[in-house]
Structure 1
Amino acid sequence: MLTGSGSLELVDDVVVDPPQSGEVRVRVEWCGVCHSDLHVLDGDTPSNVPHAILGHEVAGIVDAIGDGVTDLAPGDHVVVSMLGPCGDCEACFSGATAWCERQYGRGGVAADGSTRMTRGGMPVMRITRVGGFVEYTIARQEAVVKVPDELPLDLATVLGCSVQTGFGAVVNIAEVAAGSTVAVFGLGGVGLAAIQAARIAGATTIVGIDPIESRRSLAESLGATSTWDPVQVSVDEARALTGPLLFRSVIDTVSSARTLPTAASLTGPKGTLVILGITESKTPLEGLLTADIVAGQKRVMGCYLGNGIPRRDVPRLVRLWQHGLLDLDSMVTGRRPLDQIDQAFADLRAGIGLRTAVRVSLTD
């Protein structure tokens, strides 16, 4: 439990409510450690709440269902997403699924104001709607997706956020086509999912950009045709590879003052720059040249969870895994028990490994 900026505490007195209508209670087996959690832990993304639970890359087993839940049952293996768009409100109709009017609020707050979890009678907030570093969590049925028993749940964690986000940035937002050119800034879990998505979509030039050599090497094994250290990146270097039109799509998973101007300069005429990193939540779009964007008719697109619909996208990702097209084994590079969660976050800060899955369940 998050009890202050930079402070996590293991507690055993959080009370989880039974699921209400349209809700599912999930026994969390594994939960991935993501940069979004780290930003909250380190105070870069303020939470300002006395009690909160981090974690949103959840894979587990359905424990109980509320009234009206017909397509899930206790015992089902599931992935829990931080978004559960209803598909039946104005936001969903317009394609703005992240702004669905009926899903839980950002702190895991339901429409009736409850978070479904309490400690000492006080509400416990669930960061990014899930709160995965807890033995049991509650989610709207739209955010819970059944997966086949053959998919190991430690690998399934990355389908909840990083793979949905990176894949969706390429497929749902940039709409990368066969024969296209793609550059990806940042080769963490999201960036490597984007590399794989670009390969699956048929892009013929895929460049991964990251200062860590091991991640560049992994990107090449997952589909990157070239990789660059950021110090190598220049428009001239890009033109030598792509020709005069540069990259058709550029995915910036870092989205910092350091990467955005370069990412924009590598985006070719009529190309798409997808911004999805929230490393510095208040970073203005400085360094983007208006004349370049206007004259080049470039699109600058924001991306939240890949503009995804979990019940549509997670099964598609599972099928790609089943057919050997999507590598999940390489995405999960570490596994730790819950009492080593501080070390998992320390590894993330230090850039050690790619994704660590934390074993949450106390039941074998």
Structure 2
Amino acid sequence: MATAALLTAPGRLEIVDDVEIEEPRAGEVRVRVEWCGVCHSDLHVLDDETPTAVTGGLLGHEVAGVVDVLGAGVTDLEVGDHVVVSMIGPCGDCEACFNGATAACTRQYGRGGVAADGSTRLSRGAAPITRLLRVGGFVEYTVVQQECVVRISKELPLDLATVLACSGQTGFGAVTNIAEVSAGDTIVVIGLGGVGLAAVQAARIAGATVILGIDPIASRRALAERLGATATRAPQDVTAHLGAELAGPQRFRHAIDTVSNAATLGMGAGLIGPGGTLVILGVTAPTTPLEGLFTADLVLGQKRVLGCYLGSSIPRR
């Protein structure tokens, strides 16, 4: 039996100590959860901003822990390994993976946390426990596919490693895999939480020469500057001419929007110049329309708007 924090109603987590954890099946790994971050996506579900009909489910998908049991056929991990668990573990061998849509891999656990055979590997009494964000990290142990488990150095503290599972992957992948930022590029990052700060660092590593960070919180802006941002602004200080002032007459080449509301989408589109790329990665409610963009601006400016989910990452790579 294991202890878990179950989502029993909007806004309510209940601590229980009678969750049954199955032994891992072929190709699966059971991980002892040492740390699990609280991503804003968890809070969206908890606060009923991203509605779900499931109750009694598990949130939590930024897991760092220790390999506890290996299923048959798992040969590249060992019991005792320190690992990060990703909510996406592409198999690399299905049509979705071939097309580069790693988040839609047909072998991994779906958004409802149900495996291909319909089971979830966790239960309470006779009722299966659904993992709302694939991993189900608010529990002492979780069972996941081997593709989701990435070995890390034991020198890296597990409480810090948790951010690699989601925000690190998302921000870094948005810059490297989606926007494909290269040396000499210019980029603006809107929203300087965990994801935005990872994007700032990725842009610095990629060799971007101008990196603008935008956030209403001064401490976040200051941290972004320490991590590589060449300039920061509060949203109210962003003007129509800022792109040209900081990045030159062609404005910014790329914009990463970690918030994805009408105000930030319009801001990002306005800061990029002709041929620029706007990457949207903030997850909103399923019924939220795309607002804040003007078709004439996109068409005449030949701008691209791209979606990004978990950085289009292959975690083990």
Indicate the percent of aligned positions where both proteins have the same amino acid: 70
Q: Which amino acid aligns with 1:104?
A: Y
Structure 2: state its 5+ residue gaps. Answer: 1-5
Q: Is 1:245–1:269's contact at 8 Å kept on the other side of the alignment?
A: yes
1:75 pairs, out of 60, 76, 80, with 80
CA distance in 2, matches of 1:46, 1:280: 8
Letter in 2 for 1:124: I
Aligned partner (choices 149, 162, 175) of residue 180 of structure 2 = 175
Map of 1:27 onto structure 2: 32
Distance in 1 between residues matched to 2:157 and 2:15, nearest whole Å: 26
Determine the C-alpha separation between the residues in 1 that align with 2:287 and 2:244. 32
Which amino acid counterpart does residue 252 of structure 1 have in structure 2?
A: D
- What does residue range 1-364 of structure 1 map to in structure 2 within 5 Å? 1-312=6-317
- Supply the distance in 2 between the matched residues of 1:244 and 1:2 (Cα, whole angstroms): 51
Q: CA RMSD in A?
A: 0.9
* Residue 134 (structure 1) shift: 0.4
Q: Which residue identity is paired with 2:244? A: R
**Matched letter for residue 263 of structure 2:** R
Contact 1:53 1:125 in 2 (8 A): yes
CA–CA separation in structure 2 for the residues paired with 1:127 and 1:24: 19
- Distance (whole Å) between structure 2 residues aligned to residue 115 and residue 241 of structure 1: 50
261-270 or 35-44, which deviates more? 261-270
Instruction: Note the C-alpha offset of 1:72.
Output: 1.0
CA contact (8 A) 2:242 2:271 kept: no
Contact 2:260–2:280, Cα closer than 8 Å, also in 1: yes
- 8 A Cα contact 2:278 2:306, kept in partner: yes
CA distance in 2, matches of 1:293, 1:95: 25
> TM-score, normalising length from structure 2?
0.97
214-223 vs 256-265, which deviates more? 256-265
Matched residue type, 1:173: I
Contact 2:263 2:292 in 1 (8 A): no
Is the CA contact 1:44–1:281 (under 8 Å) kept in the aligned structure 2? Answer: no
2:53 is paired with a residue whose SS is coil
Q: Following the alignment from structure 1 to structure 2, what is the Cα–Cα distance between the partners of residues 280 and 12?
A: 32
Residues 93-148 of structure 1 show CA distances to partners (whole Å, capped at 9, x for unaligned) of 11110111111111211111001111121011112100001000010000001111
May I ask how many residue pairs the two structures share in their alignment?
312
Q: Deviations over 1:46-88 (max 9, x none)?
A: 1211211110000000000111111112111100000010000
Partner AA of 1:112 in structure 2: D
How far is 1:287 from its partner? 2.3
Q: List alignment gaps of at least 5 residues for structure 1.
A: 313-364
Q: Which runs of 4+ in 1 moved over 2 A?
A: 279-283
CA deviation map 1:154-190 (0-9, x unaligned): 1110110000000000001000011111000000000
The residue identity in structure 1 corresponding to 2:147 is: E
TM-score, structure 1 length as denominator?
0.84
Indicate the larger mover: 30-39 or 46-55: 46-55
Measure the CA separation in 1 of the matches of 2:204 and 2:49: 33
Letter in 2 for 1:53: L
